Structure 1
Amino acid sequence: MAVPKKKTSSSKRDQRKATWKRKANLQAQRALSIGKSILTGRAEGFIYPQADAEDEEES
């Protein structure tokens, strides 16, 4: 017969939420940092496609 599991304490639940939010915040900071470095032209650790000079002249 099925038995219900024990209730998770509020502190354990809050700890899990805090960890999840901390990871999301860290990823957002990294994405913003990469975006800023691309805009300034100093991106070294991130590869992205660039339009060639010939392509820009034809458009």
Structure 2
Amino acid sequence: MAVPKKKMSKSRRDARQSNWKKKVLKKVLVAMSIGKAFLENKTSNNFIFD
């Protein structure tokens, strides 16, 4: 079983978590924007789905 050889520093851990949360927030905002547009019946072909 793979085991980390050294303990990861708190600053590195926090930086990685922060980066992950920023990416998630960006995806959430896009999803909310698309969902809101569909609910308001403003559907168009301008959406790019990843």
The structure with higher relative contact order (CA 8 Å, sep 6+) is 2
Helix, strand or coil at the partner of 1:27:
helix
Paired residue for 1:16? 16
Deviation at 1:17, TM superposition (A): 0.6
Count of aligned positions: 43
Structure 1: gaps (5+ residues): 47-59
TM (norm. structure 2) is 0.67
TM (norm. structure 1) is 0.59
2:24 and 2:12 map into 1 onto residues whose CA distance is 19
Helix, strand or coil at the partner of 2:37:
helix
1:23 and 1:43 map into 2 onto residues whose CA distance is 25
2:10 and 2:21 map into 1 onto residues whose CA distance is 16
Please tell me whether Structure 1 or Structure 2 has the larger radius of gyration of its CA atoms.
1
Superposed CA RMSD: 1.8
Q: What is the correspondence of 1:1-59 to structure 2 with a 5 Å cutoff?
A: 5-44=5-44, 45=47
